[in-house]
Chains A and B, each alone.
Chain A
Amino acid sequence: MSTLTKILVVLLSLFSIFLCGMMVAFVGSTKNFKSQFEEQRKLAQYAQAELTKKDELFNTQAFKYKELENRLQETITALETDKNQLVADLRNAQRDSDQYQAQADSWKGVMTGFEQSVRNLQASLQQTQQQLDTARSQRITDQKDLNQITAELHAKIVQLQSMEAERRRLLEQKTELEQQISTSSIVPAREVRVVTQPVSTALPVSPVTAAHDIRGVVMDVDLTLVQLSVGTADGVRENMVFHITRGDQFLCDVVITNVDINQSAGVLQLVQQRPRPGDTASTQL
Chain B
Amino acid sequence: MAKKITAATSDVYTAILALASLTVLSTAVYVALKCWMYYGTLFSIAQASR
Contact = CB atoms under 8 A, between A and B. Distances in A.
Does more than half of chain B's interface fall in helix, strand or loop, or is it mixed? helix
Interface in B1-36: 9, 13, 16-17, 19-21, 23-24, 26-27, 30-31, 34
Interface in A2-26: 6, 9-10, 12-13, 16-17, 19-20, 23-24
A30 B38 CA distance: 10
B19 A13 contact: yes
Interface residues of A, number: 22
B17 A13 contact: yes
Contact of B30 (A16, A24, A37, A38): A24
Nearest to A16: B20
A206 interface: no
Q: Chain B contact residues (Cβ within 8 angstroms of A): what range?
A: 10 to 19
B20 A17 contact: yes
B49 A10 contact: no
B1 to A, nearest CB: 20
A174 B45 CA distance: 193
Contact of A6 (B13, B23, B24, B30): B13
Interface of B: 9, 13, 16-17, 19-21, 23-24, 26-27, 30-31, 34, 38-39, 46, 48-49
Interface of A: 1, 6, 9-10, 12-13, 16-17, 19-20, 23-24, 27-28, 30, 32-35, 37-38, 41
